[in-house]
Amino acid sequence: MEDFYQKCAEHGLKITPQRRIIYEELMRAKDHPTADAIYKRVRRKLPNISFDTVYRTLHLFSEIGIAKLVEGYGEDRRFEPNLDQHHHFRCLKCHAIYDFHCDSYDELPLPEVVRKYGLVVGKRVVLEGICLKCRK
């Protein structure tokens, strides 16, 4: 929670009960949830909260650096609290996303052609396949 309080202070954001509970639910999540999934979890504690509040808050969290937006890959955008360098395995069948660490992927050299597009500030490898649960 310390990062949450610090980042909110740095960006002049009030620490509202809604923001705190949304952050807590995101931090508990291990499943790279969509805004809708977080909304359903938060509604258990705050029945009157709107989906728009949850959606905007999650995007705000990604903008100030206390959450990451995970590419939607054609589905709803997803969010994650893991700010450490890591990569993803995405199941093409159930759409589950699993985090993994791999030093050699972290150290992949950038192709020279990428430099003409702009400055790279991060790298994430996404492997796609069928997870063990779906293979059964």
Strand partners, 69: 79
pLDDT beyond 90 at 121: no
How far is 85 from 127, CA to CA, in rounded Å?
15
- Distance from the Cα of residue 16 to its chain's centroid: 21
DSSP 109: P
pLDDT of residue 134: 97
pLDDT of residue 72: 66
Residues 57, 35 contacting (CB under 8 angstroms): no
Residues 2, 8 contacting (CB under 8 angstroms): no
Strand partners, 91: 129
- Helix (H) or strand (E) run with residue 69 in it: strand 68-70
Dihedral of CA atoms 39, 74, 93, 83 in degrees, nearest 10, equals -60
Band (pLDDT 50/70/90 cuts) for residue 36 is very high
Residue type, 38: I
**Structural domains of the chain, ranges and CATH numbers in brackets:** 2-80 (1.10.10.10), 87-135 (3.30.1490)
Residues 80, 68 contacting (CB under 8 angstroms): yes
Q: pLDDT, tens digit, for every residue of 49-83? A: 999 999 999 999 999 999 999 976 778 899 999 99
